[in-house]
Structure 1
């Protein structure tokens, strides 16, 4: 079966297997795929890059062992919502950088890929719709250590020098969703 590595959202600080179980099950039921659902370490106890390392380690395990769970290591997709979408995009960059495992697609549901909060959607909705600018600042302060560039490509994948060689991505946004703007 194709494999979807699903990464839950929650601002890098919240969310777990229980909060996103319904979404993970819906993906499994509708996608006719095996869904592997990673419960990565959360900030502030485990700031960047802990969660990203957990997700990438899971991808590596899938690349080597997908067949043991009736999955196809040649058909692995990454999917995630919000912070999970950001981690999915960053994991795709890491996999490209490290030469694998191969990823066939990305499904990024309202990911935060910039961190700059300078888009028209942030100007219009950043103080009225969740996550608000204030909430985003709290999440980012907890997730990104002071010595890490908040616009580095593995923190804010939009700012990678190149997106060439990455698997195709479906980027899903909401009408009034500042982080995706």
Structure 2
């Protein structure tokens, strides 16, 4: 009968220990290793500005400066107009015709000189570039959501690394109020 009671007592003790939480004996502040149940990486998405040169080929005329051509044309036109105006009229009239001829010659010479300078010269390819900013979406790993079991409950924590099959947790015991 003693062996029967001893066997029954051992079975009850084993059942009680199996039913009790494995961590019930831990003290406040103690570090315990627990098994990880699940791990999921957590990603965030961010927009990164990326600058890029966008270039194109343009054809430009290189040659005489249109402004210089206009000035030279005005001077030459003014001199020719002065000489032509000086041939007409007499006295006061001759002076007025000379001034008018010089002014008209300068205006015509200005336009002719500018047009000649603009349309003469060689056409050369010129590379033009603009900086264009566009945004690229980048996926960034921000951590791992980890599930573990402690005290008969599943608990969660976010970690900055993949913990593997187990993690260390610190026991935190608080009195109930």
Report the structure, 1 or 2, having the larger strand content. Answer: 2
Question: How high is the TM-score relative to the length of structure 2?
Answer: 0.17
Question: How high is the TM-score relative to the length of structure 1?
Answer: 0.17
